[in-house]
Amino acid sequence: MTQIVTVQTQPYDGQAPGTSGLRKKVKVFQQANYAENFIQSVFDSVTREPGSTLVIGGDGRFHNRTVIQQAIRMAAANGYGRVLVGRGGILSTPAASHVIRKYKASGGLVLSASHNPGGPDEDFGIKYNIANGGPAPEGVTRAIHARTLEIDRWFTVEARDVDLDRIGDVEVGAMTVSVIDPVADYADLMEELFDFAAIRKAVAGGFTMRFDAMSAVTGPYAVEILENRLGFAKGTVVNGTPLEDFGGHHPDPNLIHARELHDLMMGEDAPDIGAASDGDGDRNLIIGRGRFITPSDSLAMLAANIEIAPAYKGRLAGIARSMPTSAAADRVAEALGVPCFETPTGWKFFGNLLDAGKVTICGEESAGTGSDHVREKDGLWAVLLWLNILAVRQIPVDRLAREHWARFGRNYYARHDYEGIDKDGADALMAGLEDSLGSLAGRSVGALRVKLADSFSYTDPVDGSVSENQGIRVLFEDGSRIVFRLSGTGTQGATLRVYLERYEPAGGRLDEDTGAMLAEQIAAADAIAGITRHTGRSAPDVIT
Ligand code: VG1
Ligand code: CO
């Protein structure tokens, strides 16, 4: 019998999971019992059979290996029968989702703070995924949080660290730990979904790309799939080695943090397509030669063409998007005669719709796209779907986009982020907006007239659960829209996100500058919310 060690502890405040798990500074996680309290609270709260399997993996950031070793010992003491862990402690978020599903695990711990920077002074995170492979829904995260507030002990076993760099099985207490290849299962799944032969043919015919892995987790996946299996030239994947601090950068695939890729794609030497992914591999950035594709447009364009990919032929059941994501996908759903669902921000809200077969593809404006192949957003999956479509249709990204807008119209769209602002100012801004909800309708702001303003509330069509206060929406009579919400993934102060959108119908002004097209909405956002007054900022930090 393995000796189970009980360690006394006291609760920490502030262990409520946010949009995507618990994210804090590494220094916070390094406090005695901090990670252990949270992990034990997960084990105390979630449903599982004795002897069940737990998947553990992370994005390779600083502190990953330390927490993995502790989590393994704790799993052994908490009655798990087996732990599957990626070699080197690596598993991208979508790969972890796939491994959970494939090996019928009862759940998984995904150690990541995603696009947040890494390193001793930066961010770390822990997220729990349930047996369907997806992020724990709110009912589960609430239970975990409640448990963190009363926890007084955690369980572990005395055992040496597992050699995470050697594939194979070892025993920890009465539990088996299998160190697995983090890439193979995922790469095989991608090969089942897409027409690799068609993509290989296009590559052989001169189709080129650059993939920027941003020194984060997708490097090994991208090298195996793009270079080894699809035949793209060596060097197609740049920044392909996962680093503990992501080379000092933000592994956030947007036009600010993936500037180099953007500049390449706008220049003379641009390859046919440029793509990037984030810290944990669930986001994607798509840029064609001379043409940036917004994530909202990408969702719509992929949905319109998804049946080109073998695994999706004849089975687009529906589309889901998060509320702040543009309505471009709605137009596609309408034209194709399939339902479109609008959920709160965060992938956990797509899980029920995917499980119930109500939707096949989902997306968020924050560069997340995915399908029913796993229960997470999936960066490389989106890139491969783009490649499959381009290879079969033999069309450049720019022309595909223009043809799409000519058919469906164009949703000009931007998100303005005010990062690291004072929490009190951010709360006052949101409170002010809530107070004004009753009086906004009918008000004129510049040339715009407010048609409706509300606080978004979502009733899950599958289990009936209700999620309130998911962002303030201001809809104008001309069909344009502003959404305000506070980020739930930051670790410092508050981040205000302002989402701006305006629709231009087919036949309208389809090739204009986004900033110019949204000028009225941008001015209205400040007039309605008092952004400068509350935040002290006259311009956003990041525009995507
Ligand atoms: C952000 C995005 C949201 C996404 C979440 C997790 O959340 O807006 O769309 O699901 O990050 O993505 P928030 O609360 O900061 O707006 V990831 O790639 O950081 O796991
Ligand atoms: Co991510």
Domain positions in the chain: 4-181, 186-408, 410-543
Q: Would you say the CB of residue 346 lies under 6 angstroms from ligand 1?
A: yes
Span 49-63, average pLDDT = 96
Q: Using 50, 70 and 90 to split pLDDT, how confident is the model at 148? A: very high
Q: Using 50, 70 and 90 to split pLDDT, how confident is the model at 492? A: confident
What local confidence, expressed as pLDDT, does residue 2 receive?
A: 78
pLDDT over 70 (residue 159): yes
Give the C-alpha separation, 144 to 109, whole Å. Answer: 13
Atom of ligand 1 nearest to the CA of 365: 9
Using CB atoms within 10 A of its CB, is residue 539 exposed (0-12), middle (13-18) or buried (19+)?
exposed
CA atoms within 13 A on the CB side of 94: 30
Atom of ligand 1 nearest to the CA of 489: 15
Taking every pair of Cα atoms in the chain, the longest distance, rounded to a whole number of angstroms, is 75
CATH superfamily of this structure's domain 4-181:
Alpha-D-Glucose-1,6-Bisphosphate, subunit A, domain 3 (3.40.120.10)
Give the C-alpha separation, 443 to 474, whole Å. Answer: 11
Give the containing element (helix H, strand E) for 440: helix 423-440
Q: Using 50, 70 and 90 to split pLDDT, how confident is the model at 463? A: very high
Question: What fold characterizes domain 186-408?
Answer: Alpha-D-Glucose-1,6-Bisphosphate; Chain A, domain 3 (3.40.120)
> Nearest bound ligand to CA 499?
1
- For ligand 1, atom 6, name the residue with the nearest CA: 20
pLDDT in tens, 431-447: 999 999 999 999 999 99
Q: Kindly give the residue spans of alpha helices, DSSP state H, lying in 78-195.
A: 93-102, 138-148, 184-193
Q: Using 50, 70 and 90 to split pLDDT, how confident is the model at 1? A: low
Question: What fold characterizes domain 410-543?
Answer: TATA-Binding Protein (3.30.310)
pLDDT over 80 (residue 422): yes
Give the C-alpha separation, 218 to 237, whole Å. Answer: 10
Give the C-alpha separation, 511 to 343, whole Å. Answer: 29
Q: Using 50, 70 and 90 to split pLDDT, how confident is the model at 507? A: very high
Atom of ligand 1 nearest to the CA of 21: 20
8: left (phi over 0), alpha (psi -120 to 50) or beta: beta
Lowest-pLDDT range of 29-43, 53-67, 328-342, 480-494: 480-494
Task: Provide the sign of the torsion angle of the four alpha carbons 483, 484, 489, 490, taken in this order.
Answer: positive
What local confidence, expressed as pLDDT, does residue 491 receive?
A: 85
Give the C-alpha separation, 54 to 39, whole Å. Answer: 12
Three-state SS annotation for 494-544: EEEEEEEEEEECCCCCCCCCHHHHCHHHHHHHHHHHCHHHHHCCCCCCEEC
What local confidence, expressed as pLDDT, does residue 490 receive?
A: 85
Using CB atoms within 10 A of its CB, is residue 205 exposed (0-12), middle (13-18) or buried (19+)?
exposed
The contacts of residue 458 (CB under 8 Å, 6+ apart) are 323, 342, 343, 344, 349, 466, 467, 470
- Chain length of the chain: 544
Identify whether 326 is a catalytic site residue.
Answer: no
The contacts of residue 330 (CB under 8 Å, 6+ apart) are 319, 321, 340
Give the C-alpha separation, 91 to 480, whole Å. Answer: 40
Q: Would you say the CB of residue 345 lies under 6 angstroms from ligand 1?
A: yes
Q: Would you say the CB of residue 481 lies under 6 angstroms from ligand 1?
A: no
Mutate to test the pocket of ligand 1, among 19, 126, 413, 544 (most ligand atoms within 8 A of CB): 19
Q: What is the mean pLDDT of the chain?
A: 97
pLDDT in tens, 387-413: 999 999 999 999 999 999 999 999 999
Give the C-alpha separation, 503 to 499, whole Å. Answer: 14
What local confidence, expressed as pLDDT, does residue 311 receive?
A: 98
Span 198-221, average pLDDT = 98
Same fold yes or no, 4-181 and 186-408: yes
What local confidence, expressed as pLDDT, does residue 519 receive?
A: 97
Q: Looking at 114, 277, 322, 326, which residue is catalytic?
A: 114
Span 235-251, average pLDDT = 96
Rg of the chain over Cα atoms, rounded to whole angstroms, equals: 23
Could you tell me the two tokens for 469?
Answer: 């206060």
Using an 8 Å Cβ cutoff, are 91 and 180 in contact? no
> Strands 209-212 and 466-467, how do they pair?
unpaired
Q: Which residues of 81-103 are buried (b: 16+ CB within 10 A; e: fewer)?
A: bbbbbbbbbbbbbbbbbbbbbbe
Span 453-458, average pLDDT = 97
